[in-house]
Amino acid sequence: MPFDIAYGAPISLDRADAVLAAAVAEAKKHEWKLNCAVVDSGANLVSFKRMDGAQLASISIAEHKARTAAKFRRETKVFESGIQLTNFNYMITLDDVIASRGGIPLVEDGKIIGAIGCSGGTGSQDEVAAKAGAALVK
């Protein structure tokens, strides 16, 4: 099975906050206004940051991206590509799927400990910020 990564112990609040700090720092560097969320390995919200001026609609989208990345054990970009590039339109009928870049699983020692989701910029901007946060987890 693709994306067959085991679920591990949930990310701690301190680690989640560090992941968010890295994502927000990356967004600030580019003057992007994002909402960023970290969920644990059970897809439950652990920590959230809303940058000044970030659009309100992206609050729930950031959380949704993080939950999707954790539940499906893959980046949300996979769903975006599946719909845009291969016409796998059935993907939009799956529960809890969001087909937009910016959701990244957090994998440590081969196990998912959570996921980060960023929203408020373009899909590429959201993805860059999320990857900056995810890079703290190894």
Share of the chain above pLDDT 90, in %: 80
Q: What is the pLDDT of residues 74-92, one digit of tens each?
A: 999 998 888 877 877 777 7
Domains of the chain: 6-134 (3.30.450.150)
Ranking 1-10, 44-53, 67-76 by mean pLDDT, the lowest is 1-10
Is the pLDDT reported for residue 1 higher than 60?
Answer: no
Model confidence band, residue 93 (pLDDT cutoffs 50, 70, 90): confident
Distance CA 54, CA 117 (A): 14
Is the pLDDT reported for residue 15 higher than 80?
Answer: yes
pLDDT at 2: 66
Q: What is the pLDDT of residues 16-54, one digit of tens each?
A: 999 999 999 999 999 999 999 999 999 999 999 999 999
DSSP states of 68-129 as a string? HHHHHTS-THHHHHHHHTT--GGGGGSTT---SS-EEEEEETTEEEEEEEEESS-HHHHHHH
Structure tokens of 23?
Answer: 């994502």
Is the pLDDT reported for residue 104 higher than 60?
Answer: yes
Cross-strand pairs, 114: 40, 106
Count of other CB atoms within 10 angstroms of residue 18: 17
Cross-strand pairs, 48: 37
pLDDT at 31: 98
Distance CA 70, CA 133 (A): 15
The pTM for the full model equals 0.93
